[in-house]
């Protein structure tokens, strides 16, 4: 506490010194004006002195609009000084304005430079208005006509133009060069015009009776409240309520502004394992942690860059002075270092890490594209287990061919489902012990108008790192659930498995969509199964856990696809509400010839069986593999040995011909019906 006192005393001393200097300059300017023409002041009527006093009283409570620049201050005194300049000329109005600006500067604790800056703006405005009145040889009359109204509007326009011209020049001469959003400029202009429009009414009231003038403070107060409400409403729409940072809307507005010809970078940060804080310490602690993360990011970023909270545990930094990917990476590394120190939460140090995606902007690329690319890079960083990834022409998913394919896919998903070219093929899953068809897996195909049939691997490589993946998953879920309802109506109910991506599970709304579709089509939840990959779990297992737990409680089975290709499978089997594991085809295809692959498959089957999970083998293409799986106790299999993926209509025909067989009596992939 003792160390803080000298700084506090020094700050108070600087404020007192600024107050004395500003007051002295104002008095000197006023005396100079008085001395220039003392007779003009002695002949002024009582109405002038009342307006002068009201101007000073009004500026005791000035209203700065959201922002920190002097040009963002609307002084209520301008309605009185504008009336004075119309009625009694420039010098009397200037004297009152200088005193009022001094009072406002002291009230807002402005420095001398800021007060001088504000004074120059109002001097220019009064001078322009006085020039219009002088050129027209005009003073407002007791009964104004249309000419008086037109000249008043012209003088007000000259006042506004001159003031903001000086403000623009001052901004160019200082470091405050950031362009104001249009809505802020409109609110500022509207408030100024409303105050200036009161001037003719003040003069008319003064000619009737000067005693009416104090009532004008009510009108001035009403205008102030209106401007304050507009400013606060505009600010609330652009500021995150929890952290005080700008929000997504503010980021989009900033990215749409045309700045200097300098490359910019958007860094998208997603906190890792943030959900564990909410689960362990409560949502209140999670909110406090987000606020502290916001403070630390804001402290680590230069003033010329923008820190934004996009929502949830996602933040963004718009870096305005980068020289390329290497420069943007250094900024990302600086941010990770800033977050590396633990955050003390209720006596518990909380470690925070973030996955950061970087997208570079140059030229006329729009902000929406930049945000999509940064989000794609962020998911790529999560999937690779890295902290930073850069989206650029060197990225594997950013080739021109794939970007064109992605654009075509996005356009197709916006069309009617009957015309989008997206079709689903179904591959049967066979119970090894009985030979019966126990379900199907839905596999995606796309009939591109120029490229022909595009397979699921290429589609997923293109779509999964982007928001298009969620649109694609929604399209597939709609069709699969509708098909389940059709099979159920035809009294041939089948269970269908659908693959979902990491992006779908992170969003969380996939559970709501599934529940709605099952309810609308009256399909039992046990007929739908969702397949997730280990890569989705590795990206953010805690966020995924919440989504699949909701699905499990609904009765939707969860299958872990490509089992054995990840890095923490045993942990997933122990913690997640799974009902099935699918042995990756890379092990199944080689098990007839490779003892290592066969040992892995047998181990996975035994592990699944001991945990009460079904084991399904993918890629079964020959009878030998089928028999080996039967001997190992595998529950089900799918592959070309039994049937290739086929459309729903062909599947119905295939089911009509198929007869269940067991491995011991197998003579072929299927036995025709007699």
Q: Does any domain span residue 89?
A: yes
Rounded to the nearest 10°, the torsion over CA 382, 383, 387, 390 is -100
- The pLDDT assigned to 523 comes to 93
Task: Please indicate, yes or no, whether residues 381 and 440 belong to a single structural domain of this protein.
Answer: no
Q: Does any domain span residue 197?
A: yes
Paired sense of beta strands 354-361 and 388-391, if any: parallel
Confidence of residue 132 (pLDDT cuts 50, 70, 90): confident
Q: What is the C-alpha to C-alpha distance for residues 15 and 124, in angstroms, rounded to an integer?
A: 27
Q: Are 620 and 646 in contact (CB under 8 A)?
A: no
* Residue percentage of the chain with pLDDT more than 90: 15
Angle of helix 468-489 relative to helix 509-521, nearest 10 degrees? 20
Confidence of residue 378 (pLDDT cuts 50, 70, 90): confident
Span 637-673, pLDDT tens digits: 999 888 899 999 899 889 888 887 666 544 444 333 3
More confident residue, 668 or 538: 538
Paired sense of beta strands 636-638 and 422-431, if any: antiparallel
Number of domains in the chain: 3
Q: What is the C-alpha to C-alpha distance for residues 83 and 89, in angstroms, rounded to an integer?
A: 9
Mean pLDDT of the chain, nearest integer: 78
More confident residue, 266 or 182: 266
Q: Does any domain span residue 147?
A: yes
- The pLDDT assigned to 425 comes to 92
**DSSP alpha helices (H): ranges in 360-427?**
367-384, 400-413
- The pLDDT assigned to 555 comes to 92
Q: Does any domain span residue 500?
A: yes
Structure tokens, 129:
């208005």
> For the residues 355-373, what does the mean pLDDT come to?
78
Task: Please indicate, yes or no, whether residues 178 and 62 belong to a single structural domain of this protein.
Answer: yes
Q: Are 345 and 285 in contact (CB under 8 A)?
A: yes
DSSP 588: H
State which residues form the domain around 306: 248-398
- The pLDDT assigned to 486 comes to 93
Output 253-259 pairs: Cβ under 8 A, ≥24 positions apart.
253/181, 254/306, 254/318, 255/318, 255/361, 255/366, 255/367, 255/370, 255/371, 256/366, 256/367, 257/179, 257/181, 259/179, 259/320
- The pLDDT assigned to 567 comes to 47
Q: Are 617 and 600 in contact (CB under 8 A)?
A: no
Beta strands in 175-244 (DSSP E): none
> For the residues 551-567, what does the mean pLDDT come to?
79
> For the residues 138-161, what does the mean pLDDT come to?
77
Task: Please indicate, yes or no, whether residues 513 and 474 belong to a single structural domain of this protein.
Answer: yes
> For the residues 165-175, what does the mean pLDDT come to?
71
Boundary of a domain, candidates 398, 427, 452: 398
pLDDT > 50? residue 212: yes
pLDDT > 60? residue 24: no
Q: Does any domain span residue 661?
A: no
More confident residue, 516 or 219: 516
Of 37-46, 247-256, 429-438, 527-536, which has the strongest mean pLDDT?
429-438
> For the residues 569-580, what does the mean pLDDT come to?
73
Q: What is the C-alpha to C-alpha distance for residues 349 and 93, in angstroms, rounded to an integer?
A: 61
Q: Does any domain span residue 665?
A: no
Check: pTM over 0.85? Answer yes or no. no
Span 379-434, pLDDT tens digits: 777 766 678 888 755 454 555 667 678 788 888 888 887 778 888 999 999 999 88
- Judged by average pLDDT, the poorest of 107-121, 176-190, 282-296, 620-634 is 176-190
pLDDT > 50? residue 200: yes
pLDDT > 60? residue 453: yes
Q: Are 484 and 517 in contact (CB under 8 A)?
A: no
- The pLDDT assigned to 68 comes to 41
Boundary of a domain, candidates 398, 422, 450: 398
pLDDT > 80? residue 51: yes
Question: CATH number, domain at 333?
Answer: 3.30.70.270
Task: Please indicate, yes or no, whether residues 431 and 377 belong to a single structural domain of this protein.
Answer: no
DSSP assignment of 222-235, as one string?
Answer: HHHHHHHHHHHHHH
- The pLDDT assigned to 249 comes to 84
Structure tokens, 315:
């933040």
- The pLDDT assigned to 482 comes to 94
Q: Does any domain span residue 2?
A: no
> For the residues 329-343, what does the mean pLDDT come to?
88
Task: Please indicate, yes or no, whether residues 628 and 505 belong to a single structural domain of this protein.
Answer: yes
Task: Please indicate, yes or no, whether residues 393 and 287 belong to a single structural domain of this protein.
Answer: yes
Task: Please indicate, yes or no, whether residues 48 and 161 belong to a single structural domain of this protein.
Answer: yes
- The pLDDT assigned to 572 comes to 61
Structure tokens, 249:
């809307």
Task: Please indicate, yes or no, whether residues 115 and 196 belong to a single structural domain of this protein.
Answer: yes
Task: Please indicate, yes or no, whether residues 367 and 508 belong to a single structural domain of this protein.
Answer: no
Task: Please indicate, yes or no, whether residues 56 and 109 belong to a single structural domain of this protein.
Answer: yes
Q: List residues bridging with 425 in a β-sheet.
A: 443
Q: What is the C-alpha to C-alpha distance for residues 199 and 210, in angstroms, rounded to an integer?
A: 14
Confidence of residue 175 (pLDDT cuts 50, 70, 90): very low
- The pLDDT assigned to 471 comes to 85
> What residues contact 325, with CB distance under 8 A and at least 6 apart?
358, 360, 390, 392
Of 140-144, 493-497, 542-546, which has the strongest mean pLDDT?
493-497
- The pLDDT assigned to 480 comes to 94
Paired sense of beta strands 343-345 and 580-583, if any: unpaired
Structure tokens, 510:
């996939």
More confident residue, 664 or 357: 357
Task: Please indicate, yes or no, whether residues 233 and 296 belong to a single structural domain of this protein.
Answer: no
Question: CATH number, domain at 455?
Answer: 3.20.20.450
What's the longest Cα–Cα distance across the chain? 123
Task: Please indicate, yes or no, whether residues 448 and 302 belong to a single structural domain of this protein.
Answer: no
Q: Does any domain span residue 507?
A: yes
pLDDT > 50? residue 442: yes
Q: How many CB atoms lie within 10 A of CB 613?
A: 20
> For the residues 247-260, what does the mean pLDDT come to?
75
Boundary of a domain, candidates 364, 379, 398: 398
> What residues contact 508, with CB distance under 8 A and at least 6 apart?
543, 546, 547
């Amino acid at each position: 506490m003792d160390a803080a006192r000298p700084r506090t005393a020094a700050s108070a001393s600087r404020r007192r010194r600024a107050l004395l200097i500003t007051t002295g300059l104002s008095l000197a300017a006023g005396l100079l004006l008085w001395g220039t023409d003392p007779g003009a002041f002695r002949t002024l009527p009582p109405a002038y002195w009342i307006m002068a006093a009201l101007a000073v009283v009004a500026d005791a409570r000035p209203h700065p609009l959201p922002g920190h620049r002097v040009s963002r201050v609307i002084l209520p005194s301008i309605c009185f000084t504008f009336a004075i300049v119309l009625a009694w000329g420039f010098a009397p109005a200037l004297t009152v304005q200088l005193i009022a600006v001094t009072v406002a500067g002291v009230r807002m604790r402005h420095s001398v430079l800021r007060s001088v800056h504000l004074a120059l703006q109002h001097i220019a405005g009064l001078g322009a208005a006085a020039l219009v009145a002088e050129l027209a040889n005009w003073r407002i009359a007791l009964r104004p006509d249309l000419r008086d109204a037109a000249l008043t509007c012209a003088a007000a326009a000259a006042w506004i133009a001159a003031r903001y011209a000086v403000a623009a020049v001052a901004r160019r001469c200082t470091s405050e060069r950031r362009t104001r959003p249009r809505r802020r400029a409109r609110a500022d202009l509207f408030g100024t015009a409303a105050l200036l429009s009161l001037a003719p009414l003040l003069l008319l009231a003064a000619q009737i009776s000067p005693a009416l003038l104090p009532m004008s403070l009510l009108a001035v107060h009403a205008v102030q409240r209106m401007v304050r409400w507009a400013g606060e409403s505009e600010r609330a729409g652009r500021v995150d309520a929890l952290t005080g940072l700008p929000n997504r809307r503010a980021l989009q507005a900033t990215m749409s502004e045309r700045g200097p010809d300098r490359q910019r970078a958007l860094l998208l940060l997603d906190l890792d394992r943030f959900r564990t804080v909410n689960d362990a310490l409560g949502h209140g602690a999670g909110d406090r942690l987000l606020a502290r993360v916001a403070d630390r990011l804001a402290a680590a970023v230069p003033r010329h860059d923008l820190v934004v909270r996009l929502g949830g545990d996602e933040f963004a930094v718009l870096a305005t002075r980068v020289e390329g990917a290497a420069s943007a990476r250094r900024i990302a590394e600086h941010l990770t270092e800033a977050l590396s120190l633990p955050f003390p939460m209720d006596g518990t140090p909380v470690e925070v890490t973030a996955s950061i995606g970087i997208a570079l902007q140059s030229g006329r690329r729009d902000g929406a594209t930049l945000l999509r690319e940064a989000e794609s890079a962020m998911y790529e960083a999560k999937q690779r287990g890295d902290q930073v990834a850069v989206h650029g022409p060197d990225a594997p998913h950013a080739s021109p061919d794939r970007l064109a394919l992605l654009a075509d896919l996005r356009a197709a998903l916006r069309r009617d489902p009957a015309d989008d070219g997206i079709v689903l093929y179904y591959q049967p899953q066979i119970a090894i012990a009985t030979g019966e068809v126990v379900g199907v897996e839905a596999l995606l195909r796309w009939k591109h108008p120029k490229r022909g049939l595009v397979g699921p691997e290429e589609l997923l490589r293109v779509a999964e790192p982007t928001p298009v993946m969620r649109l694609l998953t929604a399209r597939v879920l709609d069709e699969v659930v509708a098909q389940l309802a059709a099979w159920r109506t035809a009294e041939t109910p089948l269970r269908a498995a659908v693959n979902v991506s990491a992006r779908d599970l992170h969003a969380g709304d996939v559970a709501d969509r599934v529940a709605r579709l099952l309810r609308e089509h009256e399909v039992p939840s046990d007929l739908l199964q969702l397949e997730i990959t280990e890569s989705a779990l590795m990206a953010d297992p805690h966020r995924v856990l919440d989504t699949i737990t909701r699905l499990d409680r609904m009765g939707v089975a969860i299958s872990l696809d490509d089992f054995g290709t990840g890095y923490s499978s045993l942990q997933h089997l122990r913690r997640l509400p799974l009902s099935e594991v699918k042995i990756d085809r890379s092990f199944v295809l080689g098990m007839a010839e490779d003892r290592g692959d066969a040992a892995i498959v047998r181990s996975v089957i035994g592990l699944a069986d001991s945990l009460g999970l079904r084991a399904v083998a993918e890629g079964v293409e020959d009878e030998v593999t089928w028999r080996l799986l039967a001997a190992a106790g595998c529950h089900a299999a799918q592959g070309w040995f039994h049937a290739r993926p086929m459309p729903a209509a062909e599947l119905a025909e295939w089911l009509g011909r198929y007869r269940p067989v067991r491995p011991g009596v197998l003579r072929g992939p299927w036995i025709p019906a007699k």
